Amino acid sequence: MPAIPRPREADARRIAEDFERFRDGLPRPLEPYVFDTYGVDLGSEYAGLRVKNPFGKASGQLSLARHQVERDAESGLGFVILKTVIAQDSGGERSMREWAIPETRMLVEPIRGRLGRDGWTVTWKGRGWFDTFHAYRDFFDQALRLGQAADMLVAPSVKYHLPGVEETAWKREEYDFTTSRLLEVWSQHYGDRPMPLEKDFSPTLAGSERATQQARIAEWFEAVPSLIHRAAPGRVRVGLKMFNALFEDEFQLRMLDTIHSAQPGEGRTDFLVYGNRLFDPARKFEDKLGVAYGGPDLSDRNLAVLERFRFARSRPPGLPAQSAAREDALPLSATGDIHSGRIAIEYLLRGASSFQMHTLFQLPNGAFSMRVGSKTEKCLHHLLFHPEDGAIAWLLDLQRRFVWKPEMNIDKKAQWCQQHWAAVAEQLSLPDNQANG
């Protein structure tokens, strides 16, 4: 995309004024303000369920306690994915228990990407939820209550059994027990509505023995949706949170193809979360060799893979670019170095209808312009109202270029981008001085 957004002059002035004004507090309620002032409908979808705005908290250390969810609900976040719990069977057995280790120190530090851009990464040694499954269910219950009162969607995240190199069998009981027990909690709040659930394929898997064989990883993606769906037919929307494996980009593309090629039915994934952090087997943190990391290389890689998946891969040879849209594209929630509205919009152009952040919420207060409020409010202020990097400025810029109808919310815009990939690709490759006429 060009370096600077070019909304209409009056809008650009208004955004600059609002950015300054809201340093002392966001407008409430947020979404109606944005719609009335700019004609931008922030409503969207996550896992096929409505969210009031597309910005959410990705699963992790900032969504494992009640007070964190409470603060996010008050601050106006669109959705929260809870910390990943390790699946268990009815006897309490957890085959992935090595992922249930407690958090130690977390280090937030600057990182420079390969192309020379600066960003942030978080390094730590913890993994999944460390308390009991019973405690997780209680937490899920509280989080749903808080979320519902504030119109903020809450979803659980689970790491289920994945067979390793020597294993052939799947521990179905872990899938059945964990899914059905989480669904019980969800149903107390949402009745028959299907429960969104993220299956976490974490970046640390990339460094584990389990993920050394490409064919084995492909098997995981083929089998997991059925195993979860079968635990509660028709009741769960299964989202696969994909990891960046240690193999080359071609492999990521093959994984995306595998997931998309499943026939409708229980084997079909309902939505994708793309893509979790990179893994560096040679990097050391304290006494541990091999760590996950983020920053500019993560968004560069994710955006490049999604772009290839949407365009080059999906265009049958000989057909014009207009035929490039994949009919079977799954709903997409983006994650990975979303540190500005601009990067969120880069993901939107590749078909994402919601944006989940972790690292952004961990940055020091000095990284934000807002003077008061919670970290979540500071993030929303930055993500939405920044005059050059904010989502409103970019959405208005794109509205002019693509002639989007004002009634299209974020989800409709994401769908439009999937269907008009040729127009999107053209804009992505325009040099700055030609963009926007």
Ligand X SMILES: Cc1cc2nc3c(=O)[nH]c(=O)nc-3n(C[C@H](O)[C@H](O)[C@H](O)COP(=O)(O)O)c2cc1C
Q: Point out which residues bind ligand X (CB under 6 A).
A: 58-61, 83-84, 106, 122, 124, 128, 157, 200, 202, 241, 276-277, 294, 298, 335-338, 357-360
Closest CB to ligand X among 183 and 379? 379
Q: Provide φ and ψ at 200, rounded to 5°.
A: -85, 115
Closest CB to ligand X among 122 and 231? 122
Closest CB to ligand X among 52 and 83? 83
Closest CB to ligand X among 200 and 397? 200
Closest CB to ligand X among 242 and 392? 242
CB of 2 vs ligand X, minimal distance in Å? 24
Closest CB to ligand X among 68 and 427? 68
CB of 193 vs ligand X, minimal distance in Å? 23
CB of 105 vs ligand X, minimal distance in Å? 11
CB of 357 vs ligand X, minimal distance in Å? 4
CB of 326 vs ligand X, minimal distance in Å? 24
Amino acid making up residue 131: D
CB of 19 vs ligand X, minimal distance in Å? 22
> Is the CB of residue 122 less than 8 Å from the CB of residue 362?
yes
Closest of 377, 340, 345 to residue 360, by C-alpha:
340
Closest CB to ligand X among 95 and 276? 276
Closest CB to ligand X among 298 and 329? 298
Round to whole Å and give the CA distance between 203 and 85: 15
CB of 301 vs ligand X, minimal distance in Å? 12
Q: SS3 for the chain, per residue?
A: CCCCCCCCHHHHHHHHHHHHHHHHCCCCCHHHHHHHHHCCCCCEEECCEEECCCEEECCCCCCCCHHHHHHHHHHCCCEEEEEEEECCCCCCCCCCHHHCCCCCCCEEEEEECCCCCEEEEEECCCCCCCCCHHHHHHHHHHHHHHHHHCCCEEEEEEECCCCCCCCCCCCHHHHHHHHHHHHHHHHHHHCCCCEEEEEECCHHHHCCHHHCCHHHHHHHHHHHHHHHHHHCCCCEEEEEECCCCCCCHHHHHHHHHHHHCCCCCCCCCCEEEECCCEEEEEEEECCEEEEEECCHHHHHHHHHHHHHHHCCCCCCCCCCHHHHCCCCCCCEEEECCCCCHHHHHHHHHCCEEEEEECHHHHCCHHHCCCCCCCHHHHHHHHHHHCCCCCHHHHHHHHHHHHCCCCCCCHHHHHHHHHHCHHHHHHHHCCCHHHCCC
Closest CB to ligand X among 336 and 351? 336
CB of 33 vs ligand X, minimal distance in Å? 26
Round to whole Å and give the CA distance between 12 and 23: 17
CB of 304 vs ligand X, minimal distance in Å? 16
Closest CB to ligand X among 75 and 335? 335
Q: Return the structure tokens found at 363.
A: 């940055």
CB of 84 vs ligand X, minimal distance in Å? 4
